[in-house]
Amino acid sequence: MKTAFIGLGVMGYPMAGHLAKAGHEVAVYNRTAAKAQRWADEHRCRAASSIADAVAGAELVALCVGADDDVRQVMQAALPALAAGAIVVDHTTASAKVAREMAEAAAARGCAFLDAPVSGGQAGAENGQLAIMIGGEAAAVEKARPVIGVYAKAIQHMGGPGTGQLTKMVNQICIAGVVQGLAEAQHFAKRAGLDTALVYEAISKGAAQSWQMDNRWKTMAEGKFDFGFAVDWMRKDLGLVLEAARANGARVEVTALVDQFYAEVQSLGGRRWDTSSLAARLERP
């Protein structure tokens, strides 16, 4: 299929690579042009000179940029150049509001816009093992499914525009509570004089097991946070949750508290640290 990919960051770079490796024609655009050129050289595909140039004639356009305003900026440039019937798949974690706005704007041009945030992190993007949650028109989701399936282990259509983003918010609520629980568990274990490695052996096969425990327990215990999903991104995501909760009346008390704990981690110098750095806050002198 003729495709375009906009935003070759930590996530977008390997995701676009999977499209190329699967044999799709991919034109890429990145704000910092050198990155697009490096990607194009590596995958023998085309680095476009502008967003309009990248999307022209593409049947499927994927993007993975930063936040709401970035999606708006990219779409403002892309919309006038989209081919009739094109499907835009937005992998950015953004608000449900921007997803609905963009779906409406795309429909007015005879195109489809799907909000399709991902879970699975950098490793999931590199291994093609992301979980994708999608909001938007069912027919467009089914057309996109085999294409974006090259970097996904699961693709779930949730409903109309915005429901993909709302589902990603649910995902982040789950993570916030679990990571704070793990941080407190380790803190307690250390104060109780237990060997944290043995604690992991004892409890990780039982009801306390989680992805976070399996993948972050050891690094948390060692105080290693210089990798993974950045605290700045997590605060952006929790901000989206809190804003949506204010609108729908949901009570998200622990999430709101953990958001403040992440603000403390930021002030400790941890803006780029992994989300498991909630442990650093408890262990500081």
The residue ranges of DSSP E strands in the chain, in sequence order, are 2-6, 25-29, 46-47, 60-63, 87-90, 112-115, 118-119, 130-135, 152-159
Return the active site residues.
168
Question: Using CB atoms, what's the residue nearest to ligand NAP?
Answer: 9
What mask of x and - would describe binding to ligand NAP in positions 145 to 184, judged by CB under 6 A?
A: ----------------------------------------
Angle CA(3)–CA(132)–CA(101) in degrees, nearest 5?
Answer: 70
Per CB under 6 A, 76 contacts ligand NAP = no
What mask of x and - would describe binding to ligand NAP in positions 239 to 278, judged by CB under 6 A?
A: ----------------------------------------
Candidates 39, 151, 225, 229; binder of ligand NAP (CB under 6 A) is 229
Q: How far is CA 248 from CA 92, 104, 243, in A?
A: 22, 22, 9
| 158 in Cβ contact with 137 (< 8 Å) | no
Candidates 42, 115, 45; CA nearest to 75 is 115
Residue 130 CB, nearest distance to ligand NAP (Å)? 8
Per rule CB under 6 A, count of chain residues that contact ligand NAP:
23
* DSSP category for residue 82: P
Per CB under 6 A, 121 contacts ligand NAP = yes
Residue 214 CB, nearest distance to ligand NAP (Å)? 17
Candidates 40, 78, 92, 126; binder of ligand NAP (CB under 6 A) is 92
Interface residues toward ligand NAP, by CB under 6 A: 7-12, 30-32, 35, 64-66, 70, 73-74, 92-93, 118, 121-122, 229, 233
